[in-house]
A and B are shown apart, each in its own frame.
Chain A
């Protein structure tokens, strides 16, 4: 697939998902297990993405400047520091470590 095909296909799928609830009767989704699992799915994917983004390097695991940066980000989120500040802080932690290693 080209980048454009990936971008357009993913966009159409996501837009279609938003439309479902306005088109179909809600019965099928009323089961609590379905609703609960859908909620947990979001957390699972985000957590997996964090892990891969922090430790992955193609098809291998690599511990480098990203790990301390994410650790600092976690501490800052716990202290309720705003999102943008945390993202910039993470970059600011990673950049100098990378420069010297």
Chain B
């Protein structure tokens, strides 16, 4: 490979910084997954194949509260959280370019972080480079740390004594926090939390989370709580 352009070096630095930060989530995910009833293989399978943190956390969160009976709700929650990747893949398709294998690999690496790093670059080569480097660094780091976390979680045994159930809620909060900049998003978050809490005594575990998604559809559909002059 020849000299990297200044743009590409900037993309590389961003990729490594984001990659190492995200790898730390992997430990939490691995530990919490084994705690919610998955074995080490199932935990690693999620990180290898599903490979989208929000959906992975959602799946184990619903399984932890509802057990196998909430399986349908767990799959639905993971899928709903994964819908944002549809929009990421649409945005990335022209950057990645044609080719079946290249697109298949890119699809697997299409996550919050790789799209964010790519979108932050100004030239097309740097965008492409940023996407691949970030995606690959995170894929390797996330899977390695998931395994480490799963082994730790497996050793711990009874988790509520260590406060790990509270740690799971704190982990979700960490995923939500950076999204709370807009007033509309804040309104959706508060509304969804209230709806899910109020419905918990009335519905099967897992379902309140899915019904709470309606709050996003209502507020997004009618564009409520948006700042004046912004439509998107």
Contacts and interface: CB of A to CB of B under 8 A. Distances in A.
Interface of A: 1-15, 17-22, 26, 29, 32-33, 35-56, 58-61, 65-66, 69-70, 73-74, 77, 82-84, 86-95, 98-99
Given A29-B86, A39-B87, A47-B196, 15 more contacts: A3-B68, A5-B71, A7-B38, A9-B75, A12-B49, A20-B89, A44-B212, A46-B175, A51-B193, A54-B166, A60-B201, A70-B169, A83-B24, A91-B164, A95-B162
Given A1-B68, A18-B107, A70-B166, A43 B173 contact: no
Contacts of B193: 47-48, 50-51
B89 A21 contact: yes
Contacts of B204: 59
**Chain B interface, >50% SS class:** helix
A8 B54 CA distance: 16
Contacts, number: 313
A57 B56 CA distance: 21
B123 interface: no
B65 A52 contact: yes
B166 A10 contact: no
B4 to A, nearest CB: 26
A19 B89 contact: yes
A84 B29 CA distance: 11
Contact of B61 (A36, A53, A73): A53
A6 B164 contact: no
Contact of B213 (A14, A35, A48, A56): A48
Nearest to A53: B169
A70 B173 contact: yes
Contacts of A99: 161
B167 A88 contact: yes
B39 to A, nearest CB: 8
B84 to A, nearest CB: 5
Given A19-B89, A35-B87, A43-B176, A7 B65 contact: no
A55 B208 CA distance: 12
Interface stretch (B6-14, B126-134, B136-144, B215-223): B215-223
Contact of B200 (A4, A6, A19, A52): A52
Contacts of B194: 51
Given A44-B212, A77-B173, A98-B161, A59 B205 contact: yes
Interface in B194-232: 194-197, 200-201, 203-205, 208-209, 212-213, 215-217, 219-221, 223, 231-232
A69 B185 contact: no
A51 B201 contact: no
Given A5-B71, A46-B179, A22 B106 contact: yes
Contacts of A92: 163
B38 to A, nearest CB: 6
B160 A6 contact: no
B184 A40 contact: yes
Nearest to A58: B205
